[in-house]
Amino acid sequence: MDLLQLLISGLANGCVYGLIGLGFVLIYKATESVNFAQGDMMMLGAFITLGLTNQSYVGLPFWLAVILAIVIMGILGYLLEVVFIRPMFGQSQIAVVILTIAIGFVARFVAGLIWGHEPQSLENPFVGKDVGFGGLVLGLDEVVIIGTTLALTGGLYLFFAYTRIGLAMQAASQNQLAAYYMGIPVKRIHSLVWALAGALAAIAGVLFASKGAIDPSTGLLGIKAFAAAIIGGFGSLPGALLGGLVVGLIEPLSSRYVAAGVSQIMPYLMLLLVLILRPHGLLSQVKAKKV
């Protein structure tokens, strides 16, 4: 039973990594560059929710704050693309990557200015509550995280498979040139992908903050999520989730069976192993470029 609880809490962590990873992969697939501010966008989403709902700030009802945070982060993602990323069109990928790293720094700084650098807890309805399944006692926050991730995965699947915008996003990510001549407004689609990544980051942020305190450097978690997404296969949305779950599970298991300090190294050790043995990740969409 103890082990099972350990696994569940690992899965819950993994879901958060997976959701941040989804944001990474979404933007990578659409624009072929990596948004290293994804973790900081998660942190911002969490802080916006905290700022809206905590009694010491605005004090709105929790759910209203969550919805507002998702909308605000969606708009922010959209604007980031339009204002900063689009003018970089045609520049090398590394330039865009460095720009996103800079955006991450700015996000951390701004969050520190507004909410301070001390860790704070998000006031939420799940904290400290337990749910019993038979003899198993699980934290409500963990159940909510896993449930939300499952629902979100299903929703995203339907979105990409059946909606006009979702299909356009898929098309634009597979072949921009062809997408243009099918009548797909590729540039606007890129902005919308950033909006989606922003909204996802907000959800991941709320889920993460429901488990513990956050501070402006929380976004550095994004690096672990990035590693997880590579483990899963960095061109694949299911891969990002899988990689997140793998990392989430391996952390508590290694600290239990190996040594406590090892859990911090394990995700990166795993990353090295995967890169050596299966360079395209566990679920890879290998695409050999024609020369």
Partner 1 sequence: MSLLELKNVTLKFGGLTAVNDVSFAVEKGEVFALVGPNGAGKSTIFNMISRFYTPYSGDILFEGKSILNKATHEIAGLGIARTFQNIELFEQASVLQNMLVGRYTHRRSNFLTEMLFTPFVRREEFAHREAVERAIDFLDLQPYREKMIAGLPYGVRKVVEMGRALAIEPKLLLLDEPASGLSVEETQDVAFWIEDIKKIMGITVLMVEHDMNLVSAVSDRVLALADGKTLAVGSPSEVQNDPAVIEAYLGSDDHEEAA
Q: Could you say whether residue 291 binds partner 1 (CB under 8 A)?
A: no
Query: What's the closest the beta carbon of residue 77 comes to partner 1, in angstroms?
Result: 17
Nearer to partner 1, 4 or 178 (CB): 178
Binding region for partner 1 (CB under 8 A) out of 20-28, 163-171, 242-250, 264-272:
163-171
Binding region for partner 1 (CB under 8 A) out of 77-85, 159-167, 259-267, 274-282:
159-167
CA distance 287 to 291: 12
Query: What's the closest the beta carbon of residue 53 comes to partner 1, in angstroms?
Result: 28
Contact flags string 114-153 toward partner 1, x per CB under 8 A: ----------------------------------------
Contact flags string 172-191 toward partner 1, x per CB under 8 A: --xx-xxxxxxxxxx-----
HSE at residue 55, side-chain half, CA atoms within 13 A, is 2
Q: Could you say whether residue 162 binds partner 1 (CB under 8 A)?
A: yes
Query: What's the closest the beta carbon of residue 31 comes to partner 1, in angstroms?
Result: 16
Candidate residues 5, 121, 170, 217; the one interacting with partner 1 per rule CB under 8 A: 170
Contact flags string 250-289 toward partner 1, x per CB under 8 A: -----------------------------------x-x--
Closest Cα to residue 47, out of 111, 103, 126, 105?
Answer: 111
Q: Could you say whether residue 193 binds partner 1 (CB under 8 A)?
A: no
Query: What's the closest the beta carbon of residue 167 comes to partner 1, in angstroms?
Result: 7
Binding region for partner 1 (CB under 8 A) out of 8-16, 95-103, 166-174, 262-270:
166-174
98, two tokens: 């460095």
Nearer to partner 1, 187 or 256 (CB): 187
Question: What are the residues binding partner 1 (CB under 8 A)?
Answer: 162-165, 167-168, 170-171, 174-175, 177-186, 285, 287
